[in-house]
Amino acid sequence: MNWRKNSRLTYPSLIAAIGLAFLFADWADAKPSDVLKQRPESKQNESVKVKVKAGPKPVVYEFYTTWCKPCKTFAPIFESVLDRHKDKIDKSVLDSEDQANASLVKKFGIHVWPTLVFVNPGGRVVYRYQGVLTEAELEKHLNDLLTQ
């Protein structure tokens, strides 16, 4: 028996149903007021109101997952560039699926991997980037972070 002939379930509706299931799974534990709030989109050179622990040096957080191919592509670039700045900038590489990192993932609203969060010494998020950067782009953002 061919399920396509005897069912109204089509491939696009199946994909839509799966997408809705993931969407509502994120909201299952949220209060109605949380669901209706819009998170502010962060843009380059715009401060975001997330506060983290202040330190003597700026920090760059990289959020990744083990199954993310762009994360694997970006990892050597991130490591080599940040190693050149290790005396001026701290780095923190965090697996987004590790429960030990859940509070930071939630605080920063991480839903895309890789995500970089640039935090100044005062503890304010000054820049956030989702996706893969080239070595030159990452260098530029780090130099901007150091001049703030």
Distance CA 74, CA 42 (A): 21
Give, in degrees to the nearest 5, the angle at Cα 91 between 89 and 94.
165
SS3 sequence of 12-70: HHHHHHHHHHHHHHHHCCCCHHHHHCCCCCCCCCCCEEEECCCCCCCEEEEEECCCCHH
Asked if 35 is an active-site residue, the reply is no
Half-sphere exposure of 47 (CA within 13 A, CB side): 9
Domains of the chain, residue spans? 3-36, 48-146
pLDDT recorded at residue 66: 94
Does the domain at residues 48-146 carry the CATH identifier 3.40.30.10? yes
Asked if 71 is an active-site residue, the reply is yes
Relative to beta strand 59-64, strand 90-95 is parallel
pLDDT recorded at residue 9: 54
Q: Which pTM does this prediction carry? A: 0.64
pLDDT in tens, the chain (148 residues): 455 555 555 555 555 555 544 444 444 444 443 433 333 333 333 333 344 666 789 999 999 999 999 999 999 999 999 999 999 999 999 999 999 999 999 999 999 999 999 999 988 999 999 999 999 999 999 999 998 8
Longest dimension (CA), the chain: 68
Instruction: Name the active-site residue from 60, 71, 89, 94.
Output: 71
pLDDT recorded at residue 93: 94
Instruction: Name the active-site residue from 68, 82, 93, 104.
Output: 68
pLDDT recorded at residue 55: 76
pLDDT recorded at residue 48: 36
Q: Which of 131, 115, 106 is nearest to 50 (CA)?
A: 106
Q: Report the first-to-last Cα separation within the chain, whole angstroms.
A: 67
